[in-house]
């Protein structure tokens, strides 16, 4: 789902995604990342972009550069690495890992 709020001084593009689960091949996940990047390129230039959703990725509690904070859950997995690569390619950070939350 995607919507764009026309605002001043910049518009805001908000995207809600649900990434495929581990039952799907990495090719399916990469296709969705490619689609997200196309949308950001076509519709998100010059705007504030917010991407929300269930990424079906795990980072663990190890910070990584300025992309992932130290408050992730679980153990790092391959899909977590894919998300980090997406964030780095597109100048994004994974914000919920920067805030301490109760362990679930």
Residue among 97, 19, 92, 18 at smallest CA distance from 49 = 92
Q: What is residue 104's predicted lDDT score, i.e. its pLDDT?
A: 64
Q: What pTM did the predictor assign?
A: 0.82
CA distance 3 to 50: 10
Q: Strands 2-5, 12-18: parallel, antiparallel or unpaired by DSSP? A: antiparallel
- pLDDT tens profile 16-63: 999 999 899 999 999 999 999 999 998 888 889 999 999 888 877 888
Residue among 39, 17, 45, 41 at smallest CA distance from 29 = 17
């Amino acid at each position: 789902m995607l919507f764009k709020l026309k605002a001043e001084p910049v518009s805001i593009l908000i995207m809600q995604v649900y990434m495929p689960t581990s039952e799907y091949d990495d090719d399916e996940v990469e296709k969705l990342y490619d689609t997200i990047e196309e949308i950001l390129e076509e519709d998100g230039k010059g705007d504030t972009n917010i991407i929300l959703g269930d990424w079906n990725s795990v980072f663990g509690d190890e910070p990584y550069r300025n992309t992932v904070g130290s408050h992730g859950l679980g153990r790092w997995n391959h899909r977590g690495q894919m998300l980090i690569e997406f964030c780095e390619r597109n100048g994004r950070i994974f914000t919920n890992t920067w805030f301490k939350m109760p362990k679930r």
